[in-house]
Amino acid sequence: MPETVPVTSTVRPELPPLPVQAERLIELGIHRLAGVTAAELRSFAATAQSAAAAETPGERGGSLLAVHPGRAPASVLAPLLRREDKAGFVVTDMPDVDLFAPIEGLGLPEAPLYVVTGVDRGDRMANWSPNEALPALAEQGRTPLMLTEGIHWVLQQPAALERNHCFMTIGSRLRKAGGALDARTPAIWISNGTGRDGAERRNAPKVGWCWAGNRHTWLGFASATGRRP
21-66 pLDDT, tens digit per residue, is 999 999 999 999 999 999 999 999 999 998 877 666 555 668 999 9
CA 68 to chain CA mean position, Å: 12
SS3 annotation, the chain: CCCCCCCCCCCCCCCCCHHHHHHHHHHHCHHHHHCCCHHHHHHHHHHHHHHHHHHCCCCCCCEEEEECCCCCCHHHHHHHCEECCEECEECCCCCCHHHCEECCCCCCCCCCEEEEECCECCHHHCCCCHHHHHHHHHHCCCEECCHHHHHHHHHHCHHHCECCEEEECCCEECECCCCCECCEEEEEEECCCCHHHCHHHCCCEEEEEEECCCCCCCEEECEECEEEC
Per-residue model confidence as pLDDT tens digits over 149-202: 999 999 999 999 999 999 999 999 999 998 899 999 999 999 999 999 999 999
For the segment 133-150, what is each residue's pLDDT rounded down to a tens digit? 999 999 999 999 999 999
Residue 7 pLDDT: 45
What does pLDDT average to over the chain?
Answer: 92
Question: How far apart (Å, rounded) are the C-alpha atoms in residues 186 and 194?
Answer: 19
Residue 188 · residue 207 · CB < 8 Å: yes
Question: How far is Cα of residue 222 from the mean position of the Cα atoms in its chain?
Answer: 7
Question: pLDDT at position 3, please?
Answer: 56
C-alpha distances out from residue 5 to 32, 139, 192, 193, Å: 41, 19, 23, 26
Sorted by sequence, the CB contacts under 8 Å of residue 51 that are 6+ apart come out as 228
> What does the alpha-carbon distance between residue 103 and residue 223 come to, in Å, rounded to a whole number?
13
* Rounded distance between C-alpha atoms, residue 4 and residue 198, angstroms: 33
Task: Identify the CA nearest to 75 among candidates 100, 53, 54, 102.
Answer: 100
Is the model's pLDDT at 113 over the cut of 50?
A: yes
Distance of alpha carbon 209 from alpha carbon 90, whole angstroms: 10
Confidence of residue 10 (pLDDT cuts 50, 70, 90): very low
pLDDT confidence of residue 92: 96
Amino acid identity, residue 225?
A: T
Among candidate residues 72, 52, 71, the one with its CA nearest the CA of residue 60 = 52
